[in-house]
Amino acid sequence: MGGYFPWVKRYLRPQSLDEAIAAMNEFKDAAAVVAGGTSVAMRLPRRVEVLVDLQDLGLDKVQVTDAGLKLGAMANLRKVEKAAAGAWGGVIASACSTVGSRLVRNAATLGGEMAAGLPWCDIPVLMAALDARVSVSRPDGEEAVSAWQWTSQRPSDILGSGVITRLLVPGHVANEGAGFYKVMRVQGEYGAAVAAAWVRLDEHDTITACRLVSGGVSPHAVALNYAQDALVGSKGDDTTLKYVASMIEQRFKPASDPRFDRAYRQKMTGVAAKRAVQQAIAMAKGGR
C-alpha cells in the first residue's frame, strides 16, 4: 500500500550524475532511487533510509533517428509512447501503451521499469528481444549492459549501486521485425502472459536469427531459447508456430497467482509468443 515511510531519514535531490552515483555508492542497500515514484511510493523495504531523486539530472530526453533510439531513463512511458510511435513499426509505443493506465504512464519511467524487478514490468521483455543496450553509471565509469542480461538475472543483481541513465535501441533494419503481445483481461492491467520477439529473415523469408522472451510471471524476463532454436531455419509458418506454442506450453513453468493459474499462464504464454513472432515476421517482410 502507498503511504508514509517513517524509516526514511533523508531525501536527496542530486544536481549531477556524479552526485547521484556517489550517494548510491555511499548508502548502497540503504538507498533507493526515486524515478517516477510509482513503485517506491507504493512499497519501500525497511532497509531503505535514503531516497535519491533523479529528476534534476536531465535524463528524460528521447531521441528517435533511423540509426536507433536514445531513450533517457527518466523519460516516462507516455513520453516514449508518443515519441516512438513510428519506430520499429510502433512496437515500442504499443508495449508502453499496455503498461497501466494513462495516470501510471504519465509517471512511470523507462529506467524504473528496467530497475524495479517486478513481474508486471513489461518493458524489459521487449528491450531484451530488441537487444537494447542499457547505460549504467557506476563510480568507476559508464557501462553498456545488454538488455538480454535481464533474461537471466534480477535487475538489482545487474545494477548493484549503479544508476541507469539511458537505453539505446538499435535502428530497424529492412529484413528485421519485432513483435510484442500481452494477454490481459482489460487494457493496462498486469499481464497473464507477455511475449516479445525479434526475427531476421533471409531473402527467402527463412528465419536466420530470432530472440523470443517471455514476461509477466517472474521478477525478470525469461528467454525462450528452445523456442528460438525451433524457429531458426523455418519460415515461421502456422505448423511451426503451433509446434513452438505447444513446446512452450509444456516446458515453460510460470507461477500461479490469485488471478491466473499456472496452466492458463502456460497456455497463454504459448499464444503470446506465437502472436509476437507473427507480428515480427510481418514487420520483417513489410520492411523490405
Partner 1 sequence: MKITFKLNGRDEEWEVEPGANLLDVLRENGHTEVKRGCDTGDCGACTVLVDGVPRSSCTMMAGQAQGREITTIAGLGDALDPHPLQQAWVEVGAVQCGFCTPGMILSAKALLDEAPMPTEDQIKDALSGNLCRCTGYVKPIEAIKLTATRLNNDKGVTDA
Q: Which residues bind partner 1 (CB under 8 A)?
A: 1-11, 13, 34, 37-38, 40-42, 44, 51, 53, 55, 100-104, 106-107, 187-188
- Residue 271, Cβ density class (10 Å: 0-12 exposed, 13-18 middle, ≥19 buried): middle
Cα 34 from Cα 22, distance rounded (Å): 15
How many residues comprise the chain? Answer: 288
Cβ proximity to partner 1, 51 vs 227, nearer residue: 51
Any residues with CB less than 8 A from the CB of 121 and at least 6 apart, and which? 113, 114, 215
Contact status, residue 111 vs residue 55, Cβ threshold 8 Å = no
Min. distance of Cβ 47 from partner 1 in angstroms?
A: 13
Taking the least distance from each CB to partner 1, the nearer of 101 and 239 is 101
Strand order, beta sheet including 50-53: 10-12, 50-53, 31-34
Cell 499462464 appears where? 265
CB of 268 to partner 1, least distance (A): 22
Is the backbone of residue 226 left (phi > 0), alpha (psi -120 to 50) or beta?
Answer: alpha
Q: How far is the CB of 3 from partner 1 (least distance, A)?
A: 6
As measured in angstroms, the least distance from the Cβ of 38 to partner 1 is: 5
User: What does DSSP say about strands 163-170 and 141-146: parallel, antiparallel, or unpaired?
Assistant: unpaired
Q: Least distance to partner 1 from the beta carbon of 133, Å?
A: 28
Q: Where are the beta strands (DSSP E) in 133-275?
A: 133-138, 141-146, 163-170, 176-183, 193-201, 207-215, 222-223
Q: Which is nearer to partner 1, 28 or 242 (CB)?
A: 28
Dist. CA 12–CA 241, nearest whole Å: 50
Q: Considering the complex, state which of residue 164 and residue 244 has its C-beta at the smaller distance from partner 1.
A: 164
Query: 78: helix, coil or strand?
Result: helix
Site of grid cell 542499457: 134
- Rounded Cα gap, residues 34 and 12, in angstroms: 10
For the CB of residue 107, give the shortest distance to partner 1 in the complex, in Å.
Answer: 4
State the nearest-atom distance from the C-beta of 106 to partner 1, in Å: 5
Task: Fill in the DSSP letter of residue 76.
Answer: B
We find the least distance from the C-beta atom of residue 10 to partner 1, in angstroms, to be 6
